[in-house]
């Protein structure tokens, strides 16, 4: 019988963490900030998913969470490893995932949701959770958008995807209010 693995590695005790293919960087490295923002979004989506009862919406939030895991993997490799990652068997966010989110947006827009001006979150727990996730999506978007200035390329579809996710979450929140 083998002993259980511990989550404690102590490798980060010096203030560094590992990128996907092993390169060590400071924990406040720009890529780690971007991955962390996406991880926060993933957790916020979990709260929104748990707070809702609509099975279709829950399934979409789950798919977005799965997409985020793929997106984080891509962002978590060094610029020198981008080609290696592109050729890998790792799942990647692409045009199909973007089209799926666009379709979910169109479906909500077809419902002619009522809203005027700036939304004030908190009409109910589910809407508030979706708005919290939306703000996390916007932070993740800002972190991803900042990567090229730091020397880390980002495929355009990743920025488009995270932008659409925030739009979808805004619409979901308005629907939850009604």
At 94 the pLDDT is 98
At residue 95's C-alpha, the angle toward residues 85 and 136, to 5°, is: 80
Domain ranges of the chain: 20-110+123-177
Unique residue bearing structure tokens 């920025």: 159
* More confident: 28 or 13: 28
- For 50, phi then psi, to 5°, come to -70, -30
Question: What does pLDDT average to over the chain?
Answer: 93
> In what helix (H) or strand (E) does residue 62 lie, and over which residues does it extend?
helix 55-75
Q: pLDDT category, 2, cuts 50, 70, 90?
A: low
20-110+123-177: CATH number: 1.20.1200.10
Partner residues linked to 24 by β-bridges: 18
pTM: predicted TM-score of the whole model, two decimal places: 0.90
At 117 the pLDDT is 67
Size of the chain, expressed as the number of residues it contains:
178
- DSSP letter for 126, please: H
Q: Rounded to an integer, what distance in angstroms lies between the CA atom of residue 157 and that of residue 61? A: 19
Unique residue bearing structure tokens 């973007």: 98
The pLDDT tens digits of the residues spanning 32-49 come to: 999 999 999 999 999 999
Q: Rounded to an integer, what distance in angstroms lies between the CA atom of residue 147 and that of residue 50? A: 32
């Amino acid at each position: 019988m083998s002993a259980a693995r511990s989550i404690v590695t102590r490798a980060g005790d010096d203030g560094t963490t590992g990128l996907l293919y092993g390169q060590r960087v400071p924990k406040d490295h720009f890529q780690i900030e971007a991955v962390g923002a996406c991880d926060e979004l993933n957790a916020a989506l979990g709260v929104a998913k748990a707070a809702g009862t609509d099975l279709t919406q829950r399934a979409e939030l789950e798919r977005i969470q799965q997409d985020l895991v793929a997106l984080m993997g891509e962002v978590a490799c060094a610029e020198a490893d981008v080609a290696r990652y592109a050729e890998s068997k790792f799942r990647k966010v692409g045009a199909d995932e973007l089209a799926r989110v666009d379709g979910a947006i169109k479906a909500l827009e077809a419902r002619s949701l009522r809203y005027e001006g700036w939304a004030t979150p908190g009409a109910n727990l589910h809407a508030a959770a979706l708005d919290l996730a939306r703000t996390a999506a916007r932070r993740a978007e800002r972190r991803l958008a900042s990567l090229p200035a730091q020397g880390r390329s980002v495929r355009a579809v990743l920025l488009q995807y995270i932008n659409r996710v925030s739009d979808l979450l805004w619409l979901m929140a308005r629907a939850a209010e009604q």
